[in-house]
Amino acid sequence: MARVAFLGLGAMGFPMAGHLTKAQHKVTVWNRTKSKAEAWAEQYRGTVASDPASAVFGVEYVIMCLGDDPDVRAVFADILPQLGGGSLVVDHTTASASLARDLYAQAKSRGAAFLDAPISGGEAGAQKGVLTVMCGGDKDAYDKAEPIMDAYSSRITRIGESGAGQLAKSVNQICIAGTLQGLSEGLAFAKAAGLDADTVVKAISGGAAQSWQMDNRAATMAKDEFEFGFAVDWMRKDLRIALQAARETGASLPVAALVDQFYADVQAMGGGRWDTSSLIKRLVKDVD
């Protein structure tokens, strides 16, 4: 049993922290909206802290699952004075690689360890405890954190040194963006051609066109249903990070840049909280 502080109880963090209690870890939680932390404590065994510094006092593992770079930087500044030799911070936020490297250096200056460990799998993956984790940081820190992360993950991989986890998450989001745009165009074409989308998807999903997105989102896309997890607003944040990293590395991301603008169109339609499969709304205004 380990003593763990979990900071950030959003759609992903709430069930992730719950899985830690099920794995018999002693968990202290903090959330900016205290009522969310109190609701978590009613559902799971654990302690609610009034602020991040209080949450991490005396614990060995600190897990963050926040929103964006400014959120991570602010919370980390609060907890840094409490970190010492033996402390290990695992950041599951999708943030920039440059921020990860900065926080890694700050943690190391106090004898602590820091892993950037963004996650994939969505809200459903968090609830089921089958997330994919991409880690950047020292191998000894990764080896120490892996058994803790195993409580809510089905695949955990150390990609490389500090920042590598965040860069891998950008790869993940770049691939998803392109796949969803292709699926959206395919379904829009099927409708325009007078084909039954369900029949077409059943026919092609056993071939080279198959993808997780097709298996899990094609039917709901055809029904104009977009309430299934990861929101457009968050995808645009992730693509912003990926596109910035591409500018810094000299990589070319023409499709990702285009799809980012398509997501901006979806936001303008009022779809910021729709899930990412809502790209099809630009192409088919009245989905059957």
> Hey, which residues are catalytic here?
169
The encoded tokens of residue 128 equal: 């089921």
Q: Are 3 and 59 in contact (CB under 8 A)?
A: yes
The CA distances from residue 95 to 87, 168, 170, in Å, are 21, 11, 9
- Six-digit token pair at 281? 């709304």
Find the length of the chain: 288
146 by Cβ neighbours in 10 Å (0-12 / 13-18 / 19+) ranks as: middle
Write out the H or E segment, with its range, that includes residue 64.
Answer: strand 61-64
3-class SS string, 105-149: HHHHHCCCEEEECCEECHHHHHHHCCEEEEEECCHHHHHHHHHHH
Rounded Cα gap, residues 27 and 162, in angstroms: 26
d(CA 226, CA 219): 11
CA angle 267, 169, 205 (to 5 degrees): 75
Strands 3-7 and 26-30: parallel
